[in-house]
Homo-oligomer: A and B are copies of this chain.
Amino acid sequence: MSAPPATPLGIGIAGLGTVGGGVMRLLAANAPLIAARAGRPLIVTAVSARDRARDRGFPLDHPTWHADPLDLVRDPRVDVVVELIGGAENPARALIEAALAAGKPVVTANKALLAQHGKSLAALAAAHDAPLAYEAAVAGGIPIIKTLREGLAGNQITAISGILNGTCNYILTTMRERGTPFADVLADAQRLGYAEADPSADIDGLDTAHKLAILAALAFGQPVDLAAVHVEGIRAIDALDIAYATELGYRIKLLGIARLIDGKIEARVHPTMLPAEAPLAMVEGVYNAVLAVGDQVGRVLLEGRGAGAGPTASAVAADLIDIARGRFTPVWGHDASASMTPTPPAPIGAHIGPYYLRLMVADQPGVIADITAGLRDNGVSLEAMLQRGRSRNAAVPVVLVTHETPEHAMRAAVSQIQKLPTVLEAPTVIRIEPG
């Protein structure tokens, strides 16, 4: 309880890209304020990166340069290792494991590593009493890890959902605002630096799945098997779907959703139709947001920038200040020794909800009768149908919105319908959530 000694906290940073540079700049810009909040100065004593010669726009005179990041662990002037290399395997993984094994606190922004190896890393951290902090791994500057691990710790979290990937949200927002196709917006996003040259991890949903697995681990007190997360990306979303969503009063967002349902954990990532006035529907562009539902607190929404040097560095700095103050929280928020009942995953087939279904059909008599028969045969009931375009030669869209339907019934209906000779393209199915 007494004030910590005013000896500086020595920080070793591995990786000096966008985030590493942001952390260097933040610690320099706000040094007096951070020292007051941390109870002592935070000093970068050592760094390690691939290219020493590169001009990064900030001085590197004072910290010791280590060609091998593992030397940060061995450096006695490094009290905390900040891992900003990225990637689920070495050198990032070896660095974090070595630091924890040496009892050195670790701060990381590495969602892939935590989602894939979080269980063993948490055990290692617990065995060596070393903090493993990762605020920057999910939703950038939004303090969602602290909120779940500490701020809402009195609650049983029953559901968590979020817009966790700024690239996807930028693409979906821009498609809606400009009415342009997915491929064009993606190319623009790549030019602007909002999407990677290889955009797969973002647009196919894996990045969101990594972050969701971490949030679910915190919410439900146990690591979630990444393989049990149902993942769909946004490649199949057509400008037509965006336009129909608007017409029906919805917005399409790539959501990560995890819920406790009948003693099982449902975890899924997919494009989702949300009512236009739902809080998550109104989160636009590169912003991220997370909605948590607690049994005591009800709904809590956090929104902010999910990426970029400043927001991510803000999250790293918060973790460093916690460590400087000696504020310790176990990796998943509770003692590893506490017996948490393992909760099985719920299969996606057990999901129940309304669905949006878009079909491209030949404009022939009887086509609607065949489609609605396919739904009826599988017990799927309709809430709405839109069919307006007419064309003798080209495929015309038919849009259907169902009532609450079990996923397995919907899949059976779609499977039956897409075999019809009048259905000309693969159907688009989008789950609808109340928001």
Instruction: Give the residue name and chain of the B residue nearest to A279 (CB).
Output: B303
Quote the shortest CB–CB distance from A197 to chain B (angstroms): 26
Interface residues of A in 108-165 (CB under 8 A from B): 129-131, 135, 141-143, 146-147, 150-156
Check A154 against B327 for contact (C-beta < 8 Å): no
Q: Does A351 contact B (CB under 8 A)?
A: no
Residues of chain B lying within 8 A (CB to CB) of residue A155: 30, 314, 317
Partner of A30, one of B154, B314, B329: B154
Most chain B CB atoms below 10 A, which of A22, A152, A333: A152
A37 interface residue (CB < 8 Å to B): yes
How far is B298's CA from A146's CA once the two chains are assembled, in angstroms? 18
Smallest Cβ-Cβ distance to A291: which chain B residue: B303
Evaluate contact between B298 and A304: CB separation under 8 angstroms. Answer: yes
Known contacts A141-B296, A296-B311, A318 near B152 by CB under 8 Å:
yes
Q: How far, in angstroms, from A122 to B155 measured CA to CA in the complex? A: 28
Q: Which residue of B lies closest to A277 (CB)?
A: B282
Question: At the interface, yes or no: A70 with Cβ under 8 Å from chain B?
Answer: no
The answer to whether A151 and B146 touch across the interface, beta carbons within 8 angstroms, is yes
A255-263, A334-342, A371-379 - the one binding chain B: A334-342
B294 touches A314 (CB 8 A): yes
A325 part of interface (Cβ distance < 8 Å): yes
Contact of A129 among B3, B315, B340 (CB under 8 A): B3
Known A-B contacts A30-B154, A151-B146; the reply to A302 vs B302 at CB < 8 A is yes
B130 touches A1 (CB 8 A): yes
The 6 closest A-B pairs by CB, nearest first: A154-B317, A143-B151, A36-B338, A141-B297, A36-B334, A297-B314
Can you list 8 A-B contacts (CB < 8 A)? A29-B295, A30-B295, A36-B335, A38-B153, A153-B321, A154-B313, A297-B304, A298-B310
